[in-house]
Each structure stands twice: as structure tokens, then as C-alpha cells.
Structure 1
């Protein structure tokens, strides 16, 4: 009776070509038909991001989540401030369409679990008293490495005007678990079985909006290599290389054409059984990073609200 994982997100954007170029540079594979672009990870048949072109500005359309027992979820949704909705025009009526208490649209789908990712070479670190790599170099010459290709969409962070209320809705109505939070400013929610530390997260803002989509890569080297390459192509904002306290993952964020963000990550905490996990309320100083470069001034700015108010 709960959400099982992340599937995809859909964005309204002004210029679909600009979006396809950005996500293609990030390592996703695109299929474009008219004003709709579907972007997927190499090796996956389904899309991770859908772009709807021709809009005045970027706006989150909806987030799609893998779930089970949709009838039970539908019964709980109104009790916790949400609404069961008809499918938007042009979208499939299958699954369950839900609006959360702040008007964010979610599509819950009974979708089979993705096949397990194939393991790459182990990321080995020589440390005092723990020598794993002998008589060989960890790094190949720079030219030996190809472009970084994300393996899968791991999580999405959205803005919320009331983070505790958003957490209450997804935990009580959708059956997720609160993994960790930092006061009422940011919260991270997981599935209750076999889940990475967070699947859906919320950051405080005056209104709903899309902050970032986070894509898993093989190891910290790929986080750094992919992040630097994409940041160089974009020439806009980026934040990284660094490591989060909450979730423990290595990260590099690159700003997309509309002010939101794309994250490469590796080494996320894993919650196999939420019943055995205890959420932590972290101090604000740990809400963003354990270490890394200075945070960009607009990293937590919700451009969807700014543009709507202009």
C-alpha cells in the first residue's frame, strides 16, 4: 500500500531544443516528437524526464512514482489534504493521479521494478592499514575515459511551502517513510523496503516547484568527471564536487537552462527496512553539504515562483 520508487518527472519548458541539448550533454538519450521530448538513461527502455515545449517558462508538471495497491492509496489521499484527479489531457488514464495539499501533481503507477544495475569495477581506496590496490594505478590517462552516462534517476527534490505538511502527506497517504530532515527547511523521504536514502525530497519555498533531478553514476570519479564536463559545456552555475551529510552521497550539481539543477551522485545510504531505520533531525549547517565548495547564491531559489510573480 505504498510508493516503491521513483519513475520520472515531466516539465513544461519554453524551448524544447534547449532542454534536449542540456540533457543530452548530461548523458541522457533523447527521442523527440513535435513539442514533446522523452529522455532516458542508456540501457533503460523508459524515460526518466519528459519535456513539454512551448510554454512561457519552466514549470513542474508532475512527478511519476512506482507504487502498489492504488485503491488503498486513493482512499487515504483525501484524509490527508490531497485530491484524486482525472488524468491531464494527453496523458494516460492508467494508474492514479493525485494532487498533494499544495497543488503538486503526482502520477502513481503500478510498474515493474527495474532490473538490477550491473556492477562496474569496484571503487577501491588505499588507506592506512587498508591497502586494497597494489602494483597498479587507480587512474587511466585522461583520454581513456569516455563521456559519463547516468545509470538511472535516483530521486527528485521539489519545493514546498510547508515541508512538514508535504512529509505528512507522502508518509501517511502514500506510505513513504521520512528518512531524515533538517528542521522544517528540508526533508528526505524513502520507500519502506529496499530503498535508497531518499526517493522524493522537499525544500522550503513560498510555492511548489522543481529543484533538481539526481542521476546515479558508477563512482565518485564519474561524479566529478561528469560534473566538470557538463559545467564546462553550460557555462552557468554549478556546485560540487562535494559530499552530503544527509544521505552521504558524493554530488555535483549543474544548473539547467531555466535555473533548476541536475545532479550526478554516487554512494547513497541504503534503507533495506524502514522499520529498522531512525530518522535524524540535522542542524541547518548539515542540511546541504558535509564538505564542498561554497553554495551558489541561487541554489535554493525557486525560479518558478519568481517568474509567476513577475
Structure 2
């Protein structure tokens, strides 16, 4: 049986082969600092607000037509939800490193810098990635002050006693979301879209995945972080995967620790919400994870203890398999893999038929590779 080591004993199976994608742009337009917020459209904002409170968000604005949700760390809201006739993901918003970067993007890409709504403050520039997804970059936002966080429990580890004559009783209550961590997107123009984020927003790849037997055709998924120089950043702020349709996959929100995550999950179950997959620990990124479906079917993740890399680390490369999604935990569920009989699953099947008829990167060989992922 083949033994798999790690890339520099850090984060993946191995490094790049000669001539493979370098995972970064030589001369990006700008370098964004972080993911600011995500925007959604939903018909039932009251239902969205109920789930949000159970999941651990704090509303900063709730009107008939708009809902803003924040974590407990200081900063802007991490979700903006607008009322609309159907549920839809409206796109990500990134935080510029410098306000002047907005003008750089606007001039280079034929857009313009515009003031944001009073509740958000600051300025933004609207762009579109090659998949057609609206992307916004912002600066000068209003910042909400920090709120009380969930204090991590004191652990006895091995023979090291840090807690004596005291018990552990984490309450079953909403895990307090601290911040937005990352968003995962799917594109049938994966390579073109990946390169756009690297060239335009200056992001860099932490890990590449490829379909078994198809490495010579290039990667099919990338975990992408912000380039903050010597300052460590989340292993991935954005993840991008090849697929038959252009769509949102999931988004992830940091909580204090595994007890907050697990007890918060028990609270969500008691409230009648649906766990998609968890609890486990990922390989790429190392996060402890727990995935849930919101009332509109969107997949959202609680996570804790993720990796942070500076800009010196080169991308790792590994085969893409369902069993390779976690170091420990239950097998990836049918719901998480998109194999359960949901509306979104049927839409994905229809998308396969369309993608195979149209000009894009998702062809029959890639379909065979994707099928193998679900079986491996």
C-alpha cells in the first residue's frame, strides 16, 4: 500500500511538479486583505433571522427588506441578506488593503468607486469574475465594537492538570460566531476564474486538489488565502472548485473552540435545524468543522482551530477524494456531497447536461473524475 507523506510535513501530500500552476500571480493589480461579507437574497427575512440567532450571529440591522448579521469580533457585518422573490447568493465582498486600491481596480477594469449604504459606511467598487459572479471590493467601513466572546474552557491535557475541583459544563446555547472565515464557490470556468482572483485581487493558493489520474490536466480545486506578506492569514479565505454549474457551495464562520461548536450544534438540533455533516477535522486547513443547512438550503459551517500561513509557503498538491476531506469524523454525508434528493441536487444534474453541451472546462473526462471523487 502506498504511503503518503506531507508537503514539507505541513499541509498536503506533496508539492508541485515542474511546470504546474505556481498558485500566485507575478504582478497582481491589488492584494485584498480579507473577506468582508457575503450577500444573499431570501424571501423570508424573519426565518433567516431566527436561524441566524440560533447559529450564533448578532443582527445589526433588521428591516422589512434587509438583514445585517455580525460576529462578536470588532468589524463590519459578515452577512448582508436582502429580501427578494427567491433565495440566491449575490456574491462576496472583499476588504481592500488600502483605500487607493479601489481606484486602481476601477481604472483597470472599467468600473467606478461608489459610496456604500450608510449602515455599512465606506466605499466600494463592483466587479464580475469570469463565471459572471458579482464581486465587490470595499474600504473605509464602519466598524462595530467587539462583543463578549465565548471563553475557551480550561482543559486537563494528559497528565497536565489545569482544572482541579471543578467540572466542565458547556451550556447548550448558540455558539457565538466570531467572524466570517471563508466562502467556497464552484465554476465551470475554474482555471480562468482562479487566475482572475490571483491576478486581480492578489490572492495566493495554499493547496491544489486534482482528479485521480488527471493531474496532467491541472488542478480541479484550490484553497486560496490573502497575501498579507509576513503576517499569517487563514489557510483559505476563498476556495474554488471545478463543476458543471457556477454556484455557491458553502461559507464558514469561526467559533471559539470545539466545545462551543459541539454544544452550539446540540442547540441547533434542539431548534429543529438540519446537520449536513460533522463533527470532524479537515485535512486542507485543519479546521474542526460542523456543517448545517439553513432554512433556504444554503450550507453553512461552524469551524475552529484553522491553519494560518504567511506568504512564504508554496502550494501543496493532493488527489481530490471524498475520504480525503477529513482526518477524523464521520464519512462525508450524501447531503454534503450533493447526492441527497434536494432541489439543488436536481439543478446540478440539469447543469451537467448543459455543461457538456456548452464551451467550458467541464467535459466528459472531468465528469468521470468527479464521479470518482464521490466513490473514493
TM (norm. structure 1) is 0.83
Q: Partner of 1:249 in structure 2?
A: 287
| Alignment partner of 1:100 out of 120, 129, 139 | 129
Q: Higher Cα Rg: structure 1 or 2?
A: 2
Deviations 1:236-280 (A, max 9, x none): 342111000000010001111222211111111011x21x10211
- Report the secondary structure of 2:285's partner residue: coil
| Alignment partner of 2:95 out of 54, 66, 73 | 66
The question of 1:170 aligning with 2:163 is answered no
**Structure-2 change in CA distance of 1:42 and 1:175 (3 Å):** same
The question of 1:51 aligning with 2:51 is answered no
Does structure 1 retain, via aligned residues, the 8 Å contact 2:274–2:293? yes
| Alignment partner of 1:197 out of 209, 228, 235 | 235
1:181 to partner: Cα distance: 2.1
Written as runs of structure 1 = structure 2, the 5 A alignment for 1:153-168 is 153-168=180-195
| Alignment partner of 1:306 out of 347, 351, 375 | 347
The question of 1:261 aligning with 2:296 is answered no
| Alignment partner of 2:176 out of 144, 149, 152 | 149
Q: Partner of 1:278 in structure 2?
A: 314
Q: Partner of 1:186 in structure 2?
A: 221
**Structure-2 change in CA distance of 1:287 and 1:18 (3 Å):** farther
Deviations 1:74-108 (A, max 9, x none): 4555xxxxx74787998999322110001011110
Q: Distance in 2 between matches of 1:177 and 1:45?
A: 24
Q: Partner of 1:41 in structure 2?
A: 71
Does structure 2 retain, via aligned residues, the 8 Å contact 1:158–1:203? yes
- Report the secondary structure of 1:299's partner residue: helix
Q: Distance in 2 between matches of 1:105 and 1:245?
A: 30
Does structure 2 retain, via aligned residues, the 8 Å contact 1:163–1:187? no
| Alignment partner of 2:157 out of 107, 119, 126 | 126
Does structure 2 retain, via aligned residues, the 8 Å contact 1:241–1:292? yes
Q: Distance in 2 between matches of 1:12 and 1:136?
A: 50
- Report the secondary structure of 2:174's partner residue: coil
Does structure 1 retain, via aligned residues, the 8 Å contact 2:150–2:176? no
C-alpha root-mean-square deviation of aligned residues, in Å?
Answer: 3.3
| Alignment partner of 2:263 out of 225, 230, 240 | 225
Q: Distance in 2 between matches of 1:236 and 1:248?
A: 24
1:201 to partner: Cα distance: 1.2
Does structure 2 retain, via aligned residues, the 8 Å contact 1:243–1:291? yes
- Report the secondary structure of 2:327's partner residue: coil
Q: Distance in 2 between matches of 1:204 and 1:125?
A: 43
Does structure 1 retain, via aligned residues, the 8 Å contact 2:57–2:176? yes
1:32 to partner: Cα distance: 1.5
**Structure-2 change in CA distance of 1:165 and 1:290 (3 Å):** farther
Q: Distance in 2 between matches of 1:88 and 1:113?
A: 12
- Report the secondary structure of 2:198's partner residue: helix
Structure 1 unpaired stretches of 5+? 78-82
| Alignment partner of 2:325 out of 261, 283, 288 | 288
Does structure 2 retain, via aligned residues, the 8 Å contact 1:186–1:287? no
Q: Distance in 1 between matches of 2:65 and 2:58?
A: 16
**Structure-2 change in CA distance of 1:94 and 1:125 (3 Å):** same
Deviations 1:163-214 (A, max 9, x none): 3322211111110111112113432111111311111112333222222221
